[in-house]
Amino acid sequence: MAAVDLSTHPGHLARRLQQAHYLLWNVMVSEEITSPQFAVLNTLVAEPGLDQRTVGERVGLDRSTMSEVITRLGRRGLLDKVRDPQDGRRFLLRLTEDGVRTHRRLTVRTARMNQVFLAPLSEDEQNLFFELIRRVADAAEELRSPAEPLRQAPDRLGGAAAPDVARHDGDPVTS
């Protein structure tokens, strides 16, 4: 069996991009606040008082990851979590003064980090890069819907029908 060219595998390239981002984030932005935590802070600067579920949807975090992020930010004193007076099951989130200051400080650092991260691309290439990865990310979000089988997703997203997918044990997946 011949080796495949991983430079044509989007998942492999996405992982390499994520590794580069993680390295730059830790060196240039923060070793304490993660990129997903910053995304939560940023969302709450834009829309204070959102509930936990809505913030998770806005930043693309699943329920358990979102819960952990909120817990960590709360422990650091960067956000307050209060029960919604209209629905006692919901928690509303607001940044503390320290959370606002932290967001402001990190925003400057993320801008510098993004310049370094995107330096290999011209301005036009950066715009195209963002458009393309947004399009792929937006389409991938639709794959989260459990109502439709994953194998049908390419048709829905404008591509060809998905081939039979093999499970990890080698047996084909049947619908």
Is residue 94 domain-shared with residue 75, that is, in the same domain?
Answer: yes
Kindly tell me if the per-residue pLDDT of 163 is higher than 90. Answer: no
Is residue 64 domain-shared with residue 91, that is, in the same domain?
Answer: yes
Query: H-type helices in 48-151, by residue range?
Result: 52-59, 63-75, 97-118, 123-142
CA distances from 171 to 62, 162, 166 (A): 29, 16, 6
- For residue 131, being part of any structural domain is answered with yes
Kindly tell me if the per-residue pLDDT of 101 is higher than 90. Answer: yes
What pTM does this model have?
0.78
- For residue 93, being part of any structural domain is answered with yes
Is residue 46 domain-shared with residue 102, that is, in the same domain?
Answer: yes
Query: pLDDT, tens digit, for every residue of 124-141?
Result: 999 999 999 999 988 988
Is residue 150 domain-shared with residue 126, that is, in the same domain?
Answer: yes
Is residue 80 domain-shared with residue 155, that is, in the same domain?
Answer: no
- For residue 133, being part of any structural domain is answered with yes
pLDDT (0 to 100) of residue 89 = 87
Is residue 84 domain-shared with residue 154, that is, in the same domain?
Answer: no
CATH classification of the domain holding 45: 1.10.10.10
Is residue 127 domain-shared with residue 104, that is, in the same domain?
Answer: no
pLDDT (0 to 100) of residue 88 = 87
- Give the domain extent around 73: 16-120
Is residue 79 domain-shared with residue 148, that is, in the same domain?
Answer: no
Q: What is the DSSP letter of 166?
A: B
Q: Are 93 and 49 in contact (CB under 8 A)?
A: yes
Is residue 105 domain-shared with residue 136, that is, in the same domain?
Answer: no
Is residue 139 domain-shared with residue 101, that is, in the same domain?
Answer: no
